[in-house]
Amino acid sequence: VNGVKGGVKASLQGVSDVGSAIVGVVRNLTSTTVRETSEFATKGIEAVASIVKGAISGVADVGASVVGSIKGIVSGTVRGVMEAGGEQKPAVRGAVAQAIHSAKELGLNVGDVAVEAVKGSIEATKTVGGDVVEATKDAILTAIQAAKDIGEEAVEGVKESLESSVEGAKDIIEAAEKK
């Protein structure tokens, strides 16, 4: 976490448009981490979550908008993992879940963060040629699952935000509730 936090913080100091810079910064840090970490294969979701947590802390430390950076952080993380040979599912799940947990820790709107995290996952998966339908479903269901760790109010907020802001979310949520 601290290595990523420091890397993000150092890379973003003096950058006026953090939103544009964050995807590349996080992607490069993630890709390097995945390639250099032999444990990555066994600790996939935890490693991804650690990267997202560190990146969010780095953004917060430079005083940039965290909610405005979530999409880029998640996108950069998922892209970095997949481009380094990691699997899509743990990349998406780890990144989205940690974004939600970090939102709660920082007192951010969990619904807004969920939307940005899901959009970041979709963007990354499209960019690297992954299975966008599967990534969308995994991201949405992971966001709701992570919100359950926070409480019922968070779950409702995440569902409402996703249904109104992410194409296909309503159908995915309804299908999951029928199971």
pTM of the model: 0.87
Question: CA 86 → CA 31, 106, 127, distances in Å?
Answer: 9, 29, 15
Model confidence over 14-53: pLDDT tens digits?
666 776 777 778 888 877 777 776 555 545 677 788 888 8
d(CA 154, CA 133): 25
Model confidence over 101-143: pLDDT tens digits?
999 998 999 999 999 999 999 999 999 999 999 999 999 999 9
- Find, among 8, 12, 87, the residue nearest to 47 by Cα: 87
